[in-house]
A and B are shown apart, each in its own frame.
Chain A
Amino acid sequence: MASAAAAVAATDRTAPRVRALLAAALALPGIVPAPAAAQTMPDAGFIQFKYLDYRDWQPGARRMRVENPGFYVMSPFAEAWVVEGALVYDGMSGASPMWHDTLSGASGEGIHDRRAAGDVKLTRYFDGFSVGAGVAYSHENDYISRGGSVDLRVWTADKNTTYTFSYAGAADRIDTPDGAANHERKYVNDFLVGVTQALSQTAIVQSNLTYTRGHGYFDDPYKTFDSRPDNRRVLAWLTRLNRHFPDHHGTLQLAYRYIDDSWDANSHMVEAAWVQPLPHAFSVRPNLRYYTQRAAYFYFDPPFPTGLVFGQPYTADTRLSAFGAFTLGLLLAKDFGGGWSGDLKVEYYRQKSDWRAGGNGSPDILPFSARWIQVGVGKTF
């Protein structure tokens, strides 16, 4: 029996003559499917289990550790419907980041928390468009979030262009055991418009604009004096470009995101990744990401909030400081056949004030490091 691989392998090692014939054949109109049809209904179900181990640290001190088993299932049913659901369970322990290197040792009380979250989404496919709706719920002992979303996707007949419109809303309730936050509420609305466009047989670009408007309680109840504005508006523009290089059998993935924040913590993110299939159904995806942000207008450098007017917003949360960060990652995936697949992802993150683009990072903050190790196993059915 000849296998299908024979036909494919034949094209790789063939004489220039058949290459000429193939090249001529590929010039025939409409003979090759349009690339990466952005919108197609899945024709098989997929179930996946993932386990994430996250740790972060600063010099001399371990900080947070998160162990996170997650479960995802997606299945088409009744001809044109798709249902998706995810469950995630976080176990967090450790201390939140130190804000200043003149204080050594653990900062404040340790954190021990458990978070359980789940969401369900239903999508109906029609000829030329799909409509989806979902609900989400997340529970911690001090934080409950309930959310819902709707989306509409519309694609052209050739599927070279897909437009996406979505809305997501969440209502959160915060109650801390110590009473720092008591029946506090936060509401967030997300609006997204996006377009995905196939540029050629081998290139596809996607651009999404997301406007997020939130109001309510944004403070970190565990930080003394933390007092943030009660509303936030964020405009995020994300553009991704994937380009396949047939000669190398690999795909280059580029991304850029700009965030305009009403708190002034504007940021830029650029990322490059390369997906390379390897023999024996392995593939690797190395990636490098750079992130830079400026400080929120109410972030004050430690140790003393010079210039703070009492009653005005204030935070010392380093996540709202000015910094730059690099992420280096590697994903190794394997297709085991019979619908089974597995992957291992390792990412290393390092954040320093000095790495802020153009300088002027927030002073007196220790470098912050984190690493992710995630294993996943999936099965199509």
Chain B
Amino acid sequence: MASDHAIVVDGVPDALADAALAAAIADVRRIEAKYSRYRDDSVTAAVNRGAGGAPVAIDAETAALLAYADQCHRLSGGRFDVTSGVLRRAWDFRRSPPRLPDGATLTGLCALVGWQEVEWNERSVRLPRSGMEIDFGGIGKEYAADRAAAILAERGVRHALVNLGGDVRALGGQADGTPWRVGVRHPRAMEAGTAIASVEIADGAVATSGDYERYIEVDGCRYCHLLDPRTGWPVRAWQSISVVAPLAVVAGSVATIAMLLADDAPDFLASQGLPWLGVDAAGEVRGTLGK
């Protein structure tokens, strides 16, 4: 979650706002530390260290996140898979000059992907093969945004906007009665803030999944961090998809699933009944949100 975060509260006295913000920010940091795949002391690291060994005990919060990930896995026909992060070993998005992985490497790593093989219940989780990994990308940050909004609401804040790296959760509109206005950034805009659309939202969330967060370009082709767990190759049908939903965790996971479903994304999004906006590979803006 090394991204830009901002929480805006409106219409509350400073003393109340400070206390509420402190509680919300503390919880965002807690979740970041607990599920970071970059920290040795995180739950994610503990589960991954246990791969191929004994079950690792988990708490109720982690079990709930896994249950949610399981729903996403089923809903996406297996494309949304919290064990697919292992494919990143073949894709070094920081390497210079960038290089494409060879087929044998990808095939080997694909064998380590498979949420359906993970043994889990409310108290423990076990990755069956050594080398398997899980991570909470596409869920964790969005879950943190929803929790931050809930914490603010519980502390008396009625108007707030929580933005965790572009995944936005709105609470109660602005204090003057107007909705929050959230810009959807253009996936190819170099300067931050160039919006292709703006969404007015009082209560709800907007999340975007895009190919611009981490990627490499080889021979003029962009290879992004969203990897199809069946092939190990990045998805390429969309530059970005934004989804509006009641909760950030739903908006975020539906946007990610839509990116992974490639050409099937419009049908999938229509079946979900959630407003969306996408920029396809040709740069054309599509979707049901106003353009």
Contacts and interface: CB of A to CB of B under 8 A. Distances in A.
B198 interface: yes
Contacts of A159: 154-155
Contacts of B75: 17, 20-21
A40 B273 contact: no
A27 B68 contact: yes
Contact of A10 (B67, B143, B244): B244
Interface in B107-148: 143, 146-147
Contacts of A13: 273
Given A1-B290, A8-B203, A127-B19, A31 B247 contact: yes
A7 B200 contact: no
A30 B271 CA distance: 28
A31 B175 contact: no
B220 interface: no
> Chain B CB within 10 Å — which of A28, A34, A44 has the most?
A28
Nearest to B198: A1
B250 A44 contact: no
Name A's interface SS: loop
Contact of A21 (B11, B15, B71, B175): B71
Interface in B2-26: 11-16, 19
Contacts, number: 149
A76 B246 CA distance: 30
Interface string A61-86: 00000000000000010111000000
B86 interface: no
A227 B202 CA distance: 61
Contact of A14 (B11, B143, B272): B272
Classify chain A's interface size. 35 or more
Interface in B61-75: 61, 64-65, 67-68, 71-72, 75
A88 B82 CA distance: 63
A7 B159 contact: no
B62 to A, nearest CB: 10
A41 B175 CA distance: 14
Contact of B253 (A6, A7, A21, A26): A21
Interface in A286-339: 337-339
A80 B201 contact: no
Contacts of B143: 28, 31
Nearest to B247: A25
B274 interface: yes
B68 A2 contact: no
B156 A40 contact: yes
A3 B289 CA distance: 9
A80 B16 contact: yes
Contacts of A33: 149-150, 153-154
B153 to A, nearest CB: 4
Contacts of B161: none
Given A17-B75, A27-B64, A79-B14, A4 B170 contact: yes
Contact of B179 (A4, A14, A18, A28): A4
Given A15-B272, A18-B273, A2 B158 contact: no
Contact of A41 (B156, B200, B203, B204): B156
Given A43-B158, A79-B13, A80-B13, A31 B147 contact: yes
B68 to A, nearest CB: 5
Contacts of B282: none
A79 B19 CA distance: 13
Nearest to A6: B275
Contact of A24 (B60, B61, B67, B150): B67
Contacts of A338: 177
Given A24-B71, A27-B67, A6 B244 contact: yes
A255 B198 CA distance: 46
B244 A43 contact: no
Interface string A98-122: 0000000000000000000000000
A204 to B, nearest CB: 14
Given A4-B170, A15-B273, A43-B11, A37 B71 contact: no
Contacts of A127: 19
A25 B250 contact: yes
A22 to B, nearest CB: 6
> Chain B CB within 10 Å — which of A18, A31, A79, A338 has the most?
A31
B50 interface: no
Interface string B167-178: 000100101010
B273 A21 contact: no
A31 B154 contact: no
Given A6-B244, A6-B289, A8-B203, 7 more contacts: A2-B201, A3-B200, A8-B204, A25-B249, A28-B61, A28-B65, A43-B159
Listed from nearest, the 9 A-B pairs whose CB atoms lie closest are A7-B204, A33-B153, A14-B273, A79-B13, A40-B156, A4-B202, A24-B71, A18-B272, A4-B201
13 contacts: A7-B204, A7-B205, A14-B273, A17-B271, A20-B71, A20-B75, A28-B146, A30-B151, A34-B150, A40-B155, A43-B175, A44-B175, A79-B14
